[in-house]
Structure 1
Amino acid sequence: MMSTNAGTDLPATFRRLIARKVGPSFRSVAEIEEVPLQQPSSDQVLLKIAYAGVNGGCETFRCRGSSYTPFAANQTAEQFVLGAEASGTVVAVGEGVETLKVGDAVTCSGSGGFAEYILTTSQSCFPVKEASAEAVVLTLSGLTAAVALKATGGPLKAGERALVTAAGGATGHMGVQLALLAGCHVVAVCGSAAKAQRLREMGVHRIINYREGDVGEVLRREYPEGIDVAYEGVGGPLRDAVLDNLSKHGRMLVVGYISEYPHVNPDDGKAEGSRGLPPAHELFWKRQTVHIDDKTIYGNVWSGAKMQEIPAFRRQLFDLYEEGKLQAWVDSRRFHGVEQVSDAIDYMLTGQAVGKVVVSF
């Protein structure tokens, strides 16, 4: 069925990023494709993308089609679209869509975000006040932290010692703020003076620049009773140091393992585990929960929430932002259009970004 409501002056074609094969990196497989702009069918909406978020890990694994990830089918696909999160404006709605109308601002997550337009289901869209870069930050990076710390590893309790690694990154700075709002004593681990300064301004109690000091040594000396909850996205030796310093009933939420991703370690998928844990790729992609003595390590930070509860978590997150109680950091480096997405991915993977890397359209 054709759309029942559409904006005017829509183009006949649009550009998007696709891959026709898997490869070692995003840049090596990403292609710009110009295709006809289709109108939405039943229960679909057509969005004009304003901003797309960069998720370097997701896009790296999507392009590699790694066998141990949900993207394994890309190895044999004729082509697949690129991008995972975006904000935009509804420009057409299909028959049966009652929750959205032309002109509504929304965010969406799934696939195909690196495009000028995207055709998606109405259920995958979340209404927002403005299709902004900040809305992209909250959509997936923020939501991940909210579910992890409010449900899976939470709810956090006032006075708990909470540690966040990659604390100046897209989801890390969200984890920091949610822990602060819960009344926790927050330890933030980051890798630059610029990130440390932003975190200091946020009111973090203890900042550890891992490039200037031994994280494990600092934790042993200053937190002899251990860390109660850790929001960990780096992996490797840093994850081991945090695990060594969890409290007796501590829990660790593994949100990623970027120090071991393929752009850093070509043997990702073959590495061995440590400290009684399985290899990072198994823990994360197989969504395992591991118990070591009285400690709990969650490889799936989404396990504490049911699908029907996710919109409520997202709504709470946006409410906090709109009330001025939560910041959404967008990195100052600017990227625009499908031509610069690969540059944005490469930049994000350098670890220099403060907050979320976003591409405007």
Structure 2
Amino acid sequence: MSLHSYLLLNRIIPSTRKSLVVAILILISGFIFVSVIRPSWSSNISLSSQKISNKWEEMFQSATAAVIANTLSSSNKKVDWDVLLDDESLTGAQLVKYLMWTNHSSCQLSHDFGGVMMKNPSGLAGQKAVCIDPRVAPKPAKCLIYSFGIQDDWSFDETMARYGCEVFAFDPSIGMTSHDHSPGNIHFHDWGLGDRDEYDRHFNWTIRSLTSIYKTLLPRHGNKTIDYLKIDIEYSEWIALPEIISSGMLSNIRQLGIEVHLDKEASLEEHRGWAKLLRSLEKSGMVRFDSKYNPWYVGNFTKFPLSASLGYEIAWYNSNLSHPML
């Protein structure tokens, strides 16, 4: 074990030992049930027993996720995320710890904009955290919003328009052509976000890079900073983000809100790479101020032992783009 590994474990284990033991016991019992006990019932199981079986699996998944969440929040000690993500003994739980790091103290006033009310559990899904601190807050009547990923939920876009911003919304998947959306100062384009300009023949979608879109819309909104960039594009964030960073567009984004998606079929190394991509945002001056996991999107990973949320709403502001304070 490397010195970094040893020091990292010494910081984490004392405050998380009990929760980890419970999590391991739950995972073992769940594995035994799913792989040994339930198959023996399959030939003669009744409908009532099947319902009990399914309910047990739901409880197992929820309990495991709850224990992991408790484990990851049990220590308030500062973590060196670069050391953690580089460590050869990185675990899935430690990776989720990085994703769930909220860093709320970096923004004194954060509001959630938009979202759809859900059940079981009750709460908002799809909301985006916006830092309202004067140094980085969007300025009404002057702010510019780019919003990628609409589906059938315009709540974020309409709320930002009511706040006083001009909103440009994008989604190639909802069967709409370019138009001005009502109500609000919202301009819709049927473009998807990627790392280059291309036409997806399989889906019949036009995909464009953020750099290309910004240059195209420059005559409409002028050479303005994007006060908030919302990205909710179902795994394509991992394709678009490298171009946003390498092109220099990150320096023109004041706040960034992304729903990041994990893949239960992907390896731990693939997830490590995605986490390090997010970390590169923070090393470039983006300051995280919020993170929320999606409790309606939970799964069991197949290539490493973990049951956790597959979606995380994470928000940052650009420390290099603070408003001048009078």
Q: Greater CA radius of gyration, 1 or 2? A: 2
Q: TM-score range by the shorter chain?
A: 0.3 to 0.5
Q: Normalization by structure 1: what TM-score?
A: 0.38
More helix by share: 2
Q: Normalization by structure 2: what TM-score?
A: 0.41
